[in-house]
Amino acid sequence: MHTRLSDPFKPYPMIQDYLDFNAMKELPESHAWLPLDELPSTYGSSTPDPVPLINLKDTNAMKLVGHACKTWGVFQVTNHGVPINLLEEMEAAGRKLFALPIHQKLKAARSPNGVSGYGVARISTFFPKLMWSEGFTIIGSPYEHARKLWPNRYSRFCDVIEDYKEEMNKLAQTLMELMLGSLGVTMDDVKWASTQGSCPALQLNSYPACPDPDRAMGLAAHTDSTLLTILHQNNTSGLQVYKEGTGWITVPPIPGALVINVGDLLHILSNGLYPSVLHRAMVNRTQHRLSVAYLYGPPSNVKISPLSKLTDQKHPPLYRPVTWSEYLGTKAKHFNKALSSVRLCAPLNGFPDAKDHTGVRVG
Ligand SMILES: C=C1C[C@]23C[C@H]1CC[C@H]2[C@@]12CCC[C@@](C)(C(=O)O1)[C@H]2[C@@H]3C(=O)O
Ligand SMILES: O=C(O)CCC(=O)C(=O)O
Ligand SMILES: [Fe+2]
């Protein structure tokens, strides 16, 4: 039997708090996070190394991808094959959706124990304060939700979503090939890798201009529960990644480029060689920021465990096998402890996974 991607969330219903951001002239207490300087940040300090930018047509692309996965867990790609006009159309579709009046958006509200639809980020429940963002999650066909938002004119929106998912799926396959290849593993070694991934999720994020950006949080620090995530951000910066030894680094928007994140399932598959990246989104005073994340995972019936080619007596498998949906359930319950909760043996230094103590505050 196939579990649906939405099933793991059923036991963790979520009460939604909605805010009409555009009506807010100042930051309400409910959305005021403590000064963010508790977390080490490179903001304003000497220039850190930039996040790698990789031309996918480069003959060296596989090596570059491997290096970026090992040392950063994030990189940007150009020459990725996704038509620029599709990226623009997707952005315009997102803009149109979030520009709807709040009562209209609520017609497609995510149900308390569901996963798709309009609402605040799922991880909100783990934090004492609310985030300055709204989201729209699409799993499977966007039709049911789009029809509620635009009763007579939903087909254009649905077409763009379907085209976008198709292009993203092709790119995700290419990236998997490069990532696995850089680990010395072929697509033949991993039978499921060349089959259609399981039903991916598309997450549209909207970060309205904020009257007090220094005290607000767009999307709190997290890792994605995916193999990899492909992110398109509009020309407004806000995405930051955490780099051990350096701190928070902004991933600058580059027109036409896409951001690739290593997710927790690739972390497991690579036996920790390609660590998932901790990231967050900041907001700003004047511009409305939009992003679209394509969350890519394995087919639903596949158990992900460390690749056998990467393990031996000296390098035992560090994680137990999990399916994508089992892992999403673990994440819904344990959030930033999810990865260490599927860990088999403690690392040599006696600490659980690094991300458990990098300052992600859990409420
Ligand atoms: C397939 C996924 C992956 C989800 C849950 C479900 C649908 C929406 C995804 C996100 C998108 C926003 C960040 C995140 C942390 C969240 O709150 O919702 C993601 C989460 C995860 O990567 O764990
Ligand atoms: O908006 C961004 O830049 C980050 C979005 C994100 O991390 C997500 O949707 O998982
Ligand atoms: Fe994310």
Summarize pLDDT for 46-72 with one digit per residue, the tens.
678 899 999 999 999 999 999 999 999
What whole-number distance in Å separates Cα of residue 335 and Cα of residue 222? Answer: 8
Q: Is 293 in the pocket of ligand 2 (CB under 6 A)?
A: yes
**ipTM rounded to 2 decimals:** 0.98
State pTM to two decimals.
0.92
222 lines ligand 1 (CB under 6 A): yes
Report residue 171's pLDDT band, with 50, 70 and 90 as the boundaries: very high
Identify the DSSP state of 49: P
Give backbone dihedrals phi and psi of 143, rounded to 5 degrees, phi first: -55, -50
The residues, any chain, with a CB within 8 Å of residue 110's CB and separated by 6 or more, are: 14, 16, 116, 117, 118, 119, 137
The 10s digit of each residue's pLDDT in 227-243 is 999 999 999 999 999 99
Pocket test for ligand 2, best of 203, 250, 284, 291 (most atoms within 8 A of CB): 291
The CATH classification number of 53-342 equals 2.60.120.330
Which of the given ranges, 17-26, 99-108, 266-275, has the highest pLDDT on average? 266-275
Write the pLDDT tens digit of every residue in 29-51. Answer: 889 887 665 544 555 456 788 99
Q: Output the CA torsion sign for 149, 153, 154, 156.
A: negative
Where does the chain have alpha helices with state H? 61-71, 84-98, 102-105, 143-149, 155-182, 264-269, 324-334, 338-341
Only one residue has tokens 């859990």, namely 362
The rounded Å distance from CA 137 to ligand 1 centre is 9
With tokens 């220094």, the residue in question is 214
CA of 201 to the centre of ligand 3 (A): 12
Residue 358 has pLDDT above 50, yes or no: no
The full set of domain ranges for the chain reads 53-342
Conformation bin of residue 79: beta by default, left when phi > 0, alpha when psi is -120 to 50: left
Query: Cβ contacts of residue 27 below 8 Å, gap of 6+?
Result: 132, 210, 211, 212, 215, 216
343 has catalytic annotation:
no
Say whether pLDDT at 90 is over 50.
yes
Residues present in the chain in total: 363
**Atom nearest to 222 CA in ligand 2:** 7
Q: pLDDT digit string (tens) for 279-299?
A: 999 999 999 999 999 999 999
pLDDT at 197: 62
- On whether the CB atoms of residues 259 and 239 are closer than 8 A, the answer is yes
